[in-house]
Chain A
C-alpha cells in the first residue's frame, strides 16, 4: 500500500480524497451506504446564520456530462448544524470542514466565531462563489478583489481553525483572486465552485430550472478546474483542494499534477456513491505502479 496520507494547513488526512460541499449533506445519508472513516475528509453543506429553505423546484437538470443545480443553500442554519449535525460527525475519525456562506463580511465573521467555538470542526471553507444566491451586484463575492480580501480577513480574525476560501473560476484574473485570498491570510483554497449555466426545455420554451440560472458541475467542468488549480498553484504558496468533475483516480491524479494537495468528489458521488473509494484504490495502484512515495512527489509537477 502506498502512503496516501497528506497534511494540509496542519490537518492530517488518511488520504487526499474528500467529499465536496453541497454533495454530501452533513454525512448522515452516505453513512448508510459506506464507512465515512475511510475518507480523507468531508466538507459539509453550505451553512448560513439563519435556516434557509432554498430555491423553488425544479432545482436540477441533467446536461451533457454534467448537471445544473440551483438548490439555493438550503440548510438548517448554524445553530442546528452545531447542535444536531456536528455531534453525529464526531463519531467518526474524519476531518470535518464546514462550508460557510453569508450576505456580508459581518455574517461570515459571525459564522466563523460560532463555528470556531464548536467541537469537531477541523477547518472552515468560506463560500464566496455560490452561483445560486443573490449578492449586491447579483454577481459572486469572489468577483470583487476587495470583497475577497475583506471577507477572508474578517473570517481569519474570528476563526480558531484553518480557513480555506472557495473560489469560482468565473473571475477575470484568477491568479489575482487567489493572491487576494492568500494576502488576507487564507490557509488554503478550494477550487472550483460550479460555473453558471442555463438550460431550456424546448417543448415549453421555459428554463429547466425555476431559478433560471444554476451552477454547472460534473465531468464537463473538469478542464476548467484543472486550469484554475494550475494557475493558483503558480500564484500562491497555500495548499489547494482541487474539485470540479472528479470521477476517477485518473482525474484526481490530474488535479495533483496541476497543484492540488487534496481533492474533493462532488457530482460523481450522486451517480456512483462509491466513487471516493474507487479513487482511493486507484490512487494506491497509481502510486505503487510508479513507485511514488507520497502525494507531494507529483503535486504541481506538471512538466511544461
Chain B
C-alpha cells in the first residue's frame, strides 16, 4: 500500500478531474433534454421520433461513439471534447424519455386547475408541470451521472484523463495492482457519492413526494 500513500495527491486531483469530465455532460445533457422532453410530450410526432432515436443512441458502444465524434465534430482524435460530447449524447438519450413520461404523468385535473387559476403556458410549465416531474427527473439524472462516471474511465483509451489513467497505466507489464485497485475503488466511491448526493438533493427538492396520508386524516 506504499504506492497509495506516495500518490495520494495525484489520486485526489485526478478524482476531481474525473468528476468534472463526467458531470459537465450531465448538466449540458439535462439542459438539452428539457426542451426535447417537453416537445416529445407536447406533440405526438415529436415523441414518435425523439423517444426511439434516443433509445437507439444509448445502444451505441461508448468506445465507438468516442472515436466517431471527431468525424461529427471535426475535432482531433485525442480532444477531450469528444468524450464530453459523447457522454452528453448518452445523458440526453437517458433523459428525453423520462422527462416526456414524467410530464405525461402529471394528472390532467392538476393541469386543468392550473390553467383555470390563470397560469399562462410557460408559467404553468415551470410552476406546476416541471416540479411534479422532478422525482422522475432526478431518478434519470442519477442514472446518467453514475453511468457517465463509469464511462469516463473508458475514455482514457483515447487519452481523456480521469481515473481511467490508473487502470491503463497500472495494467502495463509488470502490473501494479495497488494502482489498478485504487482507480477502481475511487470510481466506485465517486459513483456512490454522487448518487447519494443527488438522491439527497432530490428528496430535499421534493418533500411532498415523501408524504403519505396521515393516520386519522382519511374521511
Does chain A bind chain B? no
B residues sitting closer than 8 Å to A (CB atoms) are none
